[in-house]
Amino acid sequence: MTTPTDTQITLSRVMGNVEGNLLGTVHGGNIMKIVDDAAGVAANRFAQGPAVTAGMDEMVFLTPVRIGDVLHVHACVNWAGRSSMEVGVRAEVDRWDAVTPRVHVASAYLVMVAVDQDGATREVPELVVQTAAERRRHHEAEIRRRHRLARREEIASSRGVGE
Ligand SMILES: CC(C)(COP(=O)(O)OP(=O)(O)OC[C@H]1O[C@@H](n2cnc3c(N)ncnc32)[C@H](O)[C@@H]1OP(=O)(O)O)[C@@H](O)C(=O)NCCC(=O)NCCS
C-alpha cells in the first residue's frame, strides 16, 4: 500500500552563477528543470518504473531566488489514475546570507504518465489516501484533472468544428 506521504521526496541544491539571469537572480527555467526532476523522482518511484512528463500547469513564481540560496524542491504524488499521476511540487529556499525561516518561492502541478520501454502507457499502483491533508490534495487534484481534460476536449472539438 502506498500513500501520498510515502511518495514525498526533496531535492536540494545551492544555486550557482550559471543558473543566473540578466538581473542576477536565478532564471525561472532552471527552477522549472529542478521542479520537473523532483516530480519525475516521485512519479518514477510510485510507478515502479519510468514516467514521462505529460504536462505542467499552475507553475507560480512567488519571489526571486538569489544566487547562493539553497533551493529545496518537495514533490508528492497527489492523485493517481490508470496510468497518469498528478504530482504537486513546492519550492522553498534558505537564504544564503541569513538564518531566517524558509521562503516559499514557487509551486506547480505536473501530470506524469507511466510508460513501458516502448513508450506505451502502463498501469500504476493504487494510491491510498488516509490523512485529511492527503484527502484535500487528492480532491483538488481531481478538480484540476477534470478542468485539464475538459479544456483539451473543448479545444479538440472546436478544431473539429472549424475544419
Ligand atoms: C504522455 C503520453 C505518454 C500520453 O500518451 P497518450 O497516447 O496521450 O495516452 P492516453 O491518451 O492514453 O493518456 C494516458 C493518461 O494520461 C492522461 N493524460 C494525457 N495527457 C494529459 C494532459 N494533458 N492532462 C491530463 N492528463 C493527461 C490521460 O488522461 C490518461 O490518464 P489515465 O491513464 O490515468 O486515465 C504521450 O503524450 C507522450 O509520450 N508524450 C511525450 C512525453 C515526453 O516526452 N515528455 C517529456 C520528456 S519526459
User: Where does residue 24 fall: left (phi above 0), alpha (psi -120 to 50 degrees), or beta otherwise?
Assistant: left
* Structure-block grid coordinates of residue 113: 504518465
In whole angstroms, give the CA distance from residue 35 to residue 31.
6
Average pLDDT score over residue span 61-73: 97
Residue nearest to atom 31 of ligand 1 (CA): 84
- Per-residue model confidence (pLDDT) at position 161: 60
- Per-residue model confidence (pLDDT) at position 53: 98
- Per-residue model confidence (pLDDT) at position 57: 85
Q: Which CATH number is 5-162's, of 1.10.150.130, 3.40.50.920, 3.40.630.40, 3.10.129.10?
A: 3.10.129.10
Ligand 1 lined by 11 (C-beta under 6 Å): no
Chain-wide mean pLDDT for the chain?
Answer: 96
- Asked if residue 53 lies in contact with residue 36, where contact means CB atoms within 8 angstroms, the answer is yes
Ligand 1 lined by 146 (C-beta under 6 Å): no
Coil vs helix vs strand at 92: strand
- Per-residue model confidence (pLDDT) at position 114: 98
Domains of the chain, residue spans: 5-162
Ligand 1 lined by 148 (C-beta under 6 Å): yes
Beta bridge partners of 11: 73
DSSP 8-state class, residue 64: P
Confidence of residue 149 (pLDDT cuts 50, 70, 90): very high
Confidence of residue 31 (pLDDT cuts 50, 70, 90): very high
